[in-house]
Amino acid sequence: MPPPPPSPPSAAASSSSRAATATSAAAAAAPGAAALGPAAVPGSSGPPRAAAEAGPNRPGGGPGFALSEDQELLREQVRRFAEERIRPGVQERDRDHRFPVEIVAEMGELGLLGMLVAEEHGGAGADLLTYLLAVEELARVCPAMAVTMSVSNSVCCWPIGRFGGEALKRRALPELAGGALGAFGLTEPGAGSDAGSLRTAARRDGDSWVLSGEKAWISNAGFARWYVVVARTDPAAGKRGLTAFAVPAEAPGFAVGEPEAKLGLRASQTAPIYFDECRVPADHVLGEPGQGFKIALATLDHSRLGIAAQSVGIHQRALELAIAYARERVQFGVPIVRHQAIRFRIAQMATELQAARLLTWRAALAAAAAAADDIEGGHGAPGAAAGGGAAKHVAGEAGRLAAEAKVFASEAANRACQESLQIHGGNGFHDDYEISRLYRDVRVTTIYEGTSEMQRLVIARQLLQR
């Protein structure tokens, strides 16, 4: 167990002092979180090996995988960066709804914004698990910065790298790997979970496509350099009439609306985007015209793991804060951690954290296996598994595991933040305490990248093969 925190503050202490004490105590619950120095993201050396060793040496532990040396190094580097460069001022940025461009620039310098970009295009070429480790460590300190990084990697860099033509990849990916942000435009005011009903339209005009319409709830909007956008190109073809495009921010006819006033993730900017006869080159199509819906689904399967990892990071921190506060808070003459009711809550939080992390890692391995099968058989059309029925089964299982990881980890993290806030009592209801921010930040994890209800539909459809 981590060392005991400092003595509890007196009743006369300010709420800021009490919050600082709790934060310091919680930091002690995470060994290795203090020694820091930015360094480049190391290259990946493959997926983890199944082993009997313990996982992360923090409250809640980790699943029985042994990470490679590069993965352990990456995790330590990102943890130190998050503690030293992101944690200072995190509460103030949340209060002021301020997007920290300076911190995003540092993440770009570290290579975190190009983790899923191939080395040939200037990225880290990291494997999926290594990337998820980085997302978790960022989310443990600031979920808003974790989603900023995850969106750019998972739903912009990845689909461009996977489905874009060579000219587009040479144009966009070096910029994204070098620190430019990306975004993803699928949701519309009238099309959320029912992505097939979107109304943004695109028509071919010579050597260009012209887009008209709007998208809603776009993370990184206004700061992103590239947007992956799905639009309707054949109104009569239903879901088969959708096409995916890579739209640069300077495209004529493209505009960003006012930022949304959100419940949580306030240091991450979210805004609508508009297309008024927005013209993009024909070679900015991802895949082929008509493949947009399948590309969107493949992208969401991939990006859900980023949200699962974000949820695990939030869960980890909620547990640390609960332990630290329970040790310092005295009621009935003893620290409340001595009371069985509190111990049971902490035990349940830790157990669900183990399960969430293990499921997320397992889903990452399945996604890597599906990607390897895809590469061996040639890319082909999105959703068309190379190698026949066996490859389709691998891809289907990977999608199901991603949905399972997302729904379980996000719901477990919501429960953990609720329990941690309950352990904090009245103090947890105060903005000076970190758990109040996490309680707001975690709520969206069961909504974006597919609601919990949609994840259960995906799981059931794959299990029942319909």
Count Cβ atoms within 10 A of the Cβ of residue 141 and give its class: 0-12 exposed, 13-18 middle, 19 or more buried: buried
Entry field: residues in the chain: 466
Other Cβ atoms closer than 10 A to 430: 14
Helix residue ranges per DSSP H, 29-165: 69-81, 90-96, 101-110, 128-141, 143-152, 158-163
Cβ pair 44, 124 in contact under 8 A:
yes
Secondary structure tally for the chain: helices H, strands E = 13, 12
Active site residue 449: yes
Instruction: Give the integer Cα–Cα distance in Å for 273 and 188.
Output: 10
Q: Are 321 and 26 in contact (CB under 8 A)?
A: yes
CA proximity to 71, closest of 51, 89, 87, 86: 51
3-state secondary structure of 108: helix
Q: Largest alpha-carbon pair distance within the chain?
A: 79
Check 53, 434, 449, 453 and give the catalytic one: 449
User: What are the backbone dihedrals phi and psi of residue 147, each rounded to the nearest 5 degrees, phi first?
Assistant: -75, -30
**What burial class does residue 432 get, using C-beta atoms within 10 Å of its C-beta: 0-12 exposed, 13-18 middle, 19+ buried?**
middle
Q: Helix, strand or coil for residue 331?
A: strand
Place of tokens 């540092």: 106
Angle between helices 389-424 and 292-328 (to 10 degrees): 30
Task: Determine phi and psi for 236, rounding to 5 degrees.
Answer: -85, -5
Q: Output the CA–CA distances (angstroms, integers) from residue 135 to 36, 160, 373, 419, in the order listed.
A: 18, 20, 25, 23
Phi and psi for 202 in degrees, rounded to 5?
A: -140, 140
Q: Hey, how many other C-beta atoms are within 10 angstroms of the C-beta on 253?
A: 15
3-state DSSP call for residue 188? Answer: strand
Residue 279 pairs with which residues in a beta bridge? 210
- Give the span between the Cα atoms of 396 and 459, in whole angstroms: 10
At 147, list the tokens: 């989603």
- Catalytic residue numbers? 449
